[in-house]
Chains A and B, each alone.
Chain A
Amino acid sequence: MIHRRLLQLAGAVPGAITILAATGIFISALHVAFAFSLASVIAALIRGEGDPVPAFVLLVAITATRGTAVWGRELLAARIGATVRIRLRRRLLDRLAAVPAAERDSGAAAVTVIDGVEGLDPYYTRYLPQLLVVLVVPAGVVVLAWHQSLAAGIVLAVTTAVAVIAPRAWDVRLLRNGRGRWERFTRLSSDYVEALQQVPLLRAFGATGRAASRFTAEAEGLRNSTMAQLRLSLVETGLSALAMHLGTVLAAIAALTAVTTGSADAASAVIILMLARECFRPVQDLGTNWHAGYLGLTAVDGLDRLVSIRPASNGAHDQPADDGTIDVADVSYRYSGPRAAITELSLHVDPGETVAVIGPSGSGKSTLARALERDIDPDHGIIRIGGIDLRDYTPEARSRSVVVVPQDPVLFAWSVRENLRLYRPDATGAEIEHAAHVAQVHDVISALPDGYDTVLAENGEQLSGGQRQRIAIARALLSPAPVLVLDEVTSALDTDTERHVVDSLAANTSGRTMILIAHRESACAHANRWIALQGGQISATGTGNPTGGFAATAAR
């Protein structure tokens, strides 16, 4: 089955497929030549006429050539497959960032990008080339057989046609079922990912047993779906095999009948006997390759979904902001559903100012932070940093203009040093240590087994919440961006540590614009002024640190 979408996905592969098909045809031709010569030798031996030696030498030569060609084809297919995989995976990866945050599903993405692409390889490198081989080789063999015995030729033509065409009747249904199976496979994998990441939580609530039974049911569902799939595809295989066996037997009998009635040369029976097998070999290989390749075919939905996502367009302004002016003009954003996160919010912050943003949870503070780093685009209104619309920056320039440390920062399973270099890949050892000192985390890092070179566990699991937050602060401090947004980054710190961090941040970020999102006064002791959010709008403002603000919002 030729899937137009998949051909588009892989990009320019027709050339590669043609080369592989040509190799396949060459190998098939060698098989046919071998069968033909072998038959001649056998016929000569039976009838004791002619010299079998030249044909024998030819057979040896064919054998050596064929062995080499088989090896070459594998190598070629692997190389082409590697190219397809690298290219396709890269295309998919490029779209990952465009998936809206609420719909992100790391397990499912991994299945699509890893298993889906892996499964597609045989479709391009095995199935499609073999399809071309099947179009050419059996026809050629039938013509050869026809020359030996008309009846045998007809038998072979009919049975090969059945073997090739009959299974195609189910292909569409097979593909439809297969997509369902792939959905299940994706869901199961993504559920495993979540459960394995959250085993402590599940155990704490005695829910691992239930999770296990759910997985048993899901795995059972996957098995049923796989078997439903096989029920069809094995019938296909069976029909093909039946056509092959019957074709071989009947062709040989037809040839023998011709021999006994004297209408054909005796040697022709031997030739038909040997050739019949070659007529079906490509068909059988096509069946095998279809089974290898259809797995990838069924992954097409996930691949297509990812590829069709339109990434947000970026501007061409490739210089980072000159200064830390922030202009939020009339910005509204609504998550899917009834909830408006921020409504017609306007805010101006001068360079070097430190502004505290306070308000109850759900009042839109974190949404504002997301919008400031363009993790989301406002439905309405404009955000400017350094006087330039955020959307006009190149991603590179934007990341050097504004940095947001989110509430739950993610650390990567790299060394601490690499983690700290996230915002500035060329930071020197001294710069890194300085940032760690400012964030009050240098001692923590030094106490790790390999210091700054300790490789963190997934999301820094060996660290406490407070330690993770401070590493995230240090990481952001290394960024040269003039605007720094800290979203409750000291929430997991004890009071003393928090005061140290806040003081040293204030002392080391002069000149930068800071937005401090916080629940508590302690986090924004050095703020020049504050704004309070309520229901996605500014409800109060004031100067100095927001002690009065907290009192005011608490009084509401």
Chain B
Amino acid sequence: MRTVLRLLPLIATRRGLFIETVVWSAVTQTAVLGIALGLAWTVGHIVAGETVSLPVASFALPGLAILASVTAWRESWVSHDLAYRLIATLRGHVFDALRRALPSRTRHRRTGDLTTTVVADIETLEWLYAHTAAQTLSALLVLAMSAAVSISISPLLLLIWVPLLIIGVTVPFVTARRARRDGDELAHGAAALRSELLDTVRGLRELTGSGALDAQLERLTDYTRRLARAQVREASRLGAERGIGDIALALAALGAILIVLLDRATVGPENIPLAVTVAVAGLAPAAQIADLLRNASTLRAAAERITDVLGQPPAVDHRPRGSRPERLQESGLVFDQVGFSYDYERPVLKGLTMHIRPGEIVALTGPSGVGKTTAARLALRMWDPDTGSVRIDGTEISDIPDKELRSRITTVPQSSPLLRGTIRSNITLGEPEAAEEKVHEAATAAGLFDPGAGLPGGLDTPVGEHGAGLSGGQRARVAIARALLGNPRVLVLDEPTASLDSQADTAIMDFLSHSQDCAILLIAHRPATIAAAHRSIRLGS
């Protein structure tokens, strides 16, 4: 429950809406209680043969009924407004946390898992924000009022609440462990299912081609089955609790009757309906809250997953540190005694030192898995090195504001990932407002308009998920155009031409070698590509 409570302070950001919710909720509950008690009182007195002014009741009670409906409507409007605003805010927080924390150095959480948190887990908080927090306060108020009315009839009436309170406390206590397990299993099951489904869609070609699709669909169905079993188990627990809750409410009525039977002296006949009603009506809001709290295990599991994401450390520390001396004479990209490990134990890079001057192309070579891509990622400040420093034009990249850094250095990542949209939207990823001629220039340099590129649709060619619709070579050209767009000072190319034919490769390397003021770090395997570099550095030997 503590995790859930940690998400409550968010309400403080919308204090006005919350207070309004509490007020409307209190008015509604009071009015509903007033109707129930008023009716019971009137019926009791008339049936007992006393004279009651019916016209007064005929005005007052419908008036209360209208009030209760109007305020109930208002309350649900305000509380949902509150809830969905908070949910939208929280989504923003969660995505902010993720965009700073990813890529993770050590913990590879699957996208489906993270998406479940940002989409589904957050959505479950609607209960907490719209239906639980404010309503608990007004339920307490109603409980207090009912207690006062009960005492005024007969203090003994309070006795019936004792067993009910015991039930109310012990049942959740007894089932807590099971509820916790169910909640965890449901949340994780849903996340696992989504992860596996995302992978399935991504790998549909492999799965179909290997005839393994049926087995994979069976696997997904198994996830559903496992999830369904957990849901049935949870429903059994929820159902039992709900049944007990239902019995408790009935017992409240029966208890009131019993007390009337035992204590005929204090409870007058005209007060009998009132005594029964106050026992039931006073508990109704509390029962409603209890009903919502029965889902607390789901809520708790979701809240835990959310706070876990929120607590992920950022991949790099953006806090300004004491400014380190700039080396004014230095220009280009410098790796100075850089050491790095993913698990903080086995170093991938040890004391890597290199200097790439403007106008220079340096090839970084070595067998696959030796840390070339890691070096590229450090140059792009995906992470900060454990030891040593990475500098651009004499300034530590960790001292350069992120926006500034991104305009100084761009990249063609391995296997040229693209986003959905068009070729144009992909090229302008770093600079959506880029002028048309700049985009054209970059696209031309990358050979996108060459007849050999096979792209008659030009910049408006649609791009599907993971670059679907384009061939490997076409994707590479788009990725190169995207990197060239910003006229960077440093360009990091990770096997950019691997899927290009040698002609295109030569053309692009030719273009790059004519750049006068850009320092280029090139990760390459091909002798032809490496030959285009001015010199090469071999890692791992």
Contact between chains at A93 and B221 (CB < 8 Å): yes
Contact between chains at B464 and A269 (CB < 8 Å): no
A46 within 8 Å of B by Cβ? yes
The 12 listed contacts between A and B (C-beta, < 8 Å) are A115-B120, A195-B95, A199-B102, A206-B430, A238-B69, A238-B72, A245-B35, A273-B273, A360-B503, A410-B206, A444-B369, A492-B495
Contact between chains at A75 and B368 (CB < 8 Å): no
Stretch at the interface among A4-12, A220-228, A324-332, A379-387: A220-228
Contact between chains at B220 and A93 (CB < 8 Å): yes
Inter-chain CA distance A373–B39, complex, in Å, is 76
Contact between chains at B115 and A110 (CB < 8 Å): yes
A495 within 8 Å of B by Cβ? yes
B66 within 8 Å of A by Cβ? yes
Stretch at the interface among B85-93, B153-161, B300-308, B387-395: B85-93
Contact between chains at B211 and A400 (CB < 8 Å): yes
Q: Would you give the shortest CB distance from B34 to chain A, in whole angstroms?
A: 11
Contact between chains at A78 and B194 (CB < 8 Å): no
Which residues of B are found within 8 Å of A107, using beta-carbon distances? 115, 198
B215 within 8 Å of A by Cβ? yes
Interface range on chain A (Cβ under 8 Å from partner): 35 or more
Which residues of B are found within 8 Å of A193, using beta-carbon distances? 111-112, 115, 198
- Choose from B239, B276, B417 the contact partner of A75 (Cβ within 8 Å): B239
Contact between chains at B472 and A361 (CB < 8 Å): yes
Known: A245-B35, A399-B211, A403-B209. A226 touches B224 (CB 8 A): no
Task: Rank and list the top 3 A-B pairs by shortest CB-CB distance, nearest first.
Answer: A362-B454, A361-B473, A74-B239
Known: A68-B243, A74-B243. 9 other contacts (CB 8 A): A59-B257, A75-B236, A200-B102, A207-B429, A215-B91, A360-B504, A413-B196, A492-B525, A495-B526
B482 within 8 Å of A by Cβ? yes
B436 within 8 Å of A by Cβ? no
B438 within 8 Å of A by Cβ? no
Most buried by A among B66, B525, B526: B525
Q: Interface SS of chain A: helix, strand, loop or mixed?
A: helix
Inter-chain CA distance A110–B242, complex, in Å, is 32
Most buried by A among B206, B224, B377: B206
Q: Would you give the shortest CB distance from A215 to chain B, in whole angstroms?
A: 6
Stretch at the interface among A36-44, A137-145, A431-439, A508-516: A36-44
Most buried by A among B98, B115, B411: B115
Which residues of B are found within 8 Å of A94, using beta-carbon distances? 217
- Choose from A97, A198, A270, A365 the contact partner of B204 (Cβ within 8 Å): A97
Inter-chain CA distance A195–B115, complex, in Å, is 10
Interface residues in B197-243 (C-beta closer than 8 Å to A): 197-215, 217, 220-221, 224-225, 228-229, 231-232, 234-236, 238-240, 242-243
A338 within 8 Å of B by Cβ? yes
Contact between chains at B235 and A74 (CB < 8 Å): yes
Contact between chains at B44 and A256 (CB < 8 Å): no
Q: Would you give the shortest CB distance from A540 to chain B, in whole angstroms?
A: 14
A446 within 8 Å of B by Cβ? no
Most buried by A among B44, B204, B258, B261: B204
B57 within 8 Å of A by Cβ? yes
B114 within 8 Å of A by Cβ? yes
Q: C-beta contact mask, A242-261 vs B, less than 8 Å → 1, else 0?
A: 10011011101100110110
Q: C-beta contact mask, A71-84 vs B, less than 8 Å → 1, else 0?
A: 11111011101100
Known: A70-B239, A395-B211, A458-B199. A104 touches B108 (CB 8 A): no
Contact between chains at A48 and B269 (CB < 8 Å): yes
Inter-chain CA distance A192–B144, complex, in Å, is 46
Interface range on chain B (Cβ under 8 Å from partner): 35 or more
Contact between chains at A205 and B406 (CB < 8 Å): yes
A461 within 8 Å of B by Cβ? yes
A396 within 8 Å of B by Cβ? yes
Which residues of B are found within 8 Å of A463, using beta-carbon distances? 369
Q: Would you give the shortest CB distance from B343 to chain A, in whole angstroms?
A: 9
Q: C-beta contact mask, B250-267 vs A, less than 8 Å → 1, else 0?
A: 110110011011000000
Which residues of B are found within 8 Å of A462, using beta-carbon distances? 108
A15 within 8 Å of B by Cβ? no
Known: A360-B503, A495-B525. A63 touches B247 (CB 8 A): yes
Q: Interface SS of chain B: helix, strand, loop or mixed?
A: helix
Contact between chains at A215 and B95 (CB < 8 Å): yes
Q: Would you give the shortest CB distance from A413 to chain B, in whole angstroms?
A: 6
Contact between chains at A248 and B88 (CB < 8 Å): no
Contact between chains at B453 and A362 (CB < 8 Å): yes
Contact between chains at A71 and B243 (CB < 8 Å): yes
Inter-chain CA distance A85–B226, complex, in Å, is 12
Contact between chains at A78 and B232 (CB < 8 Å): yes
- Choose from B69, B406, B419 the contact partner of A206 (Cβ within 8 Å): B406
Q: Would you give the shortest CB distance from A372 to chain B, in whole angstroms?
A: 10
Contact between chains at A241 and B73 (CB < 8 Å): yes
Stretch at the interface among A170-178, A346-354, A464-472: A464-472
Q: Would you give the shortest CB distance from A545 to chain B, in whole angstroms?
A: 15
Contact between chains at A366 and B239 (CB < 8 Å): no
Inter-chain CA distance A37–B68, complex, in Å, is 28
Which residues of B are found within 8 Å of A466, using beta-carbon distances? 368-369, 525
Inter-chain CA distance A162–B54, complex, in Å, is 25
Inter-chain CA distance A41–B258, complex, in Å, is 11
Contact between chains at A104 and B95 (CB < 8 Å): no
- Choose from B100, B429, B503 the contact partner of A205 (Cβ within 8 Å): B429
Q: Would you give the shortest CB distance from B426 to chain A, in whole angstroms?
A: 10
Contact between chains at B457 and A227 (CB < 8 Å): no
A197 within 8 Å of B by Cβ? yes
Interface residues in B419-443 (C-beta closer than 8 Å to A): 419-420, 429-430, 432
Residue of A nearest to B454 (CB): A362
Which residues of A are found within 8 Å of B260, using beta-carbon distances? 45
Contact between chains at A360 and B206 (CB < 8 Å): no
Which residues of A are found within 8 Å of B229, using beta-carbon distances? 82
Contact between chains at A242 and B246 (CB < 8 Å): no
Interface residues in A396-439 (C-beta closer than 8 Å to B): 396, 398-400, 403-404, 406-413, 422-423, 425
A363 within 8 Å of B by Cβ? yes
Known: A444-B369, A494-B368. A519 touches B501 (CB 8 A): yes
Contact between chains at B204 and A246 (CB < 8 Å): no
B127 within 8 Å of A by Cβ? no
Inter-chain CA distance A476–B537, complex, in Å, is 34
